Amino acid sequence: MSRSTGRRLGRAGIRDVAAAAGVSITTVSDALNGKGRLPDATRSHVREVADRLGYRPSAAARTLRTGKSGLIGLTVTTYGDEPFTFTEFAYFAEMARAATSAALARGYALVILPATSRHDVWSNVALDGTVVIDPADGDSVVAELVRHGIPVVSDGRPGGALPVTGWVDNDHEAAVLGLLDHLADAGARRIGLLTGTTTDTYTRLSTTAYLRWCERVGQDPVYESYPAHDPCAGAVAADRLLARPDRPDAVYGLFDPNGTDLLAAARRYGLRVPEDLLLVCCSESTGYASTEPPITTLSLKPRRIGTAVVQILIDAIEGLGDGRPVEQVIPTDLIVRTSSQRRSPRTTISPPRGPAGN
């Protein structure tokens, strides 16, 4: 039986289009891709025939031939294995959303991949590049990708001198120092920290900045650590922090849920916010605008980061930049709300809260 005539099953291929249009395969390819030298008449004719047959080029064949798949990997490595933290922290959701939009705008799609280096999944998808969120020190997934020559851009400075294509990050140190100054200005005498046990650069840099600030102003550090991926542990750690004999009169929580955790803990101990306890946490959740009281948050601008990461990565894939690693710092944004407002001097003796509307 003839190959070219009888499509036994499946979609139409470029051969069928060529046959139907009465031209060669080369002509079809050139016509559809805008290459070669063809009169407009031929071009439009081929396009029309292709449309009529419902022709869609095979992505697999094109990828095999060109070496470009148009796919970008997206992975979160730090916080545990199986269940991604996409939903846990609004940061990841925002960042992923921005990254997805930016990628699509340039014709790429994002593939969500596991933190663990499961060969059966990672090697089954042809990636042009990968975005890694919060890589750990000397991250093995990153190392393997780099070894195979796949461009990697990370959200957060990669530790362990990994030769990535680039990274985007906030100036966490400056952010924490500024935030602690803000709390001190608001009257805090002893500022506590709720931090994580993980080794990602965000946690590390923020914590050391806190310690340095303490040293500078001569305050003893007061902090509790917990595994950030475990929401229950966060509540427990918040409780521990407020139960200490050297209880702080202001707390900064590094992770998104810390705000509500600390607020709940404060209620349990009968502490009023902000009268007895000033509160700030790092979060992108708009919910903190409507808690009781509203909580001051530090925004890391995940949308800008997600966009920047993808732009850098695609530039590298398409060979637009020079070969050198791109490093980009995004400013943070402290959104001041009631929970960290300066105690008004007149309210030395704080009465029970008045009824309803403030």
Partner DNA sequence: CGACCTTGCAGAAACGTGCCTTCTCGCGAG
Partner DNA sequence: CTCGCGAGAAGGCACGTTTCTGCAAGGTCG
Q: Contact at 8 Å (CB) between 197 and 228?
A: yes
Residue number, 15 or 240, with CB nearest to DNA: 15
Question: Whats the size of the chain, residue-wise?
Answer: 358
Beta bridge partners of 194: 224, 253
Please report, as residue ranges, which positions from 304 to 333 form the binding site for DNA (by CB under 7 A).
none
Mind spelling out the 3-state secondary structure of the chain?
CCCCCCCCCCCCCHHHHHHHHCCCHHHHHHHHHCCCCCCHHHHHHHHHHHHHHCCCCCHHHHHHHHCCCCEEEEEECCCCCCCCCCCCCHHHHHHHHHHHHHHHHCCCEEEEECCCCCHHHHCCCCCCEEEEECCCCCCHHHHHHHHCCCCEEEECCCCCCCCCCEEEEECHHHHHHHHHHHHHHCCCCCEEEEEECCCCHHHHHHHHHHHHHHHHHCCCCEEEEECCCCHHHHHHHHHHHHHCCCCCCEEEECCCCHHHHHHHHHHHCCCCCCCCCEEEEECCCHHHHCCCCCCEEEECCHHHHHHHHHHHHHHHHCCCCCCCCEEEEECCEEECCHHHCCCCCCCCCCCCCCCCCC
Residue range at the interface with DNA (CB under 7 A); choices 24-32, 88-96, 156-164, 276-284: 24-32
25 contacts DNA (rule: CB under 7 A):
yes
CB of 178 to a copy of itself, least distance (A): 26
In the list a copy of itself, DNA, none, the entry touching 283 (Cβ below 5 to 8 angstroms by class) is none
- Report the C-alpha gap between 112 and 101 in whole angstroms: 14
- Report the C-alpha gap between 188 and 257 in whole angstroms: 22
Residue number, 35 or 353, with CB nearest to DNA: 35
- Report the C-alpha gap between 91 and 283 in whole angstroms: 7
In the list a copy of itself, DNA, none, the entry touching 19 (Cβ below 5 to 8 angstroms by class) is none
Residue range at the interface with a copy of itself (CB under 8 A); choices 235-243, 257-265, 273-281, 329-337: 257-265
Residue range at the interface with DNA (CB under 7 A); choices 33-41, 69-77, 146-154, 328-336: 33-41
Residue 269-298 contact track with a copy of itself, rule CB under 8 A, x = bound: -x-x------------x-x--xxx------
CB of 143 to a copy of itself, least distance (A): 13
User: β-pairing, 296-299 with 333-335?
Assistant: antiparallel
61 contacts DNA (rule: CB under 7 A):
yes
27 contacts DNA (rule: CB under 7 A):
yes
20 contacts DNA (rule: CB under 7 A):
no
Residue matched to tokens 């102003």: 217
Please report, as residue ranges, which positions from 35 to 94 form the binding site for a copy of itself (by CB under 8 A).
54, 56-64, 69-71, 82-84, 86-87, 90, 93-94
Count the site residues for a copy of itself by CB under 8 A. 62
Residue range at the interface with a copy of itself (CB under 8 A); choices 106-114, 131-139, 171-179, 213-221: 106-114
29 contacts DNA (rule: CB under 7 A):
yes
Instruction: Name which position in 36, 163, 231, 331 contacts DNA (CB under 7 A).
Output: 36
In the list a copy of itself, DNA, none, the entry touching 69 (Cβ below 5 to 8 angstroms by class) is a copy of itself
Please report, as residue ranges, which positions from 318 to 357 form the binding site for a copy of itself (by CB under 8 A).
352-353, 355-357
91 contacts DNA (rule: CB under 7 A):
no
**Contacts to DNA by CB under 7 A:** 3, 10, 13-15, 22-27, 29-30, 32-33, 35-39, 42, 55-58, 61-62, 64-66
**Contacts to a copy of itself by CB under 8 A:** 10-11, 54, 56-64, 69-71, 82-84, 86-87, 90, 93-94, 96-97, 100-101, 104, 107-114, 118, 120-121, 123-126, 147-149, 260, 263-264, 267, 270, 272, 285, 287, 290-292, 352-353, 355-357
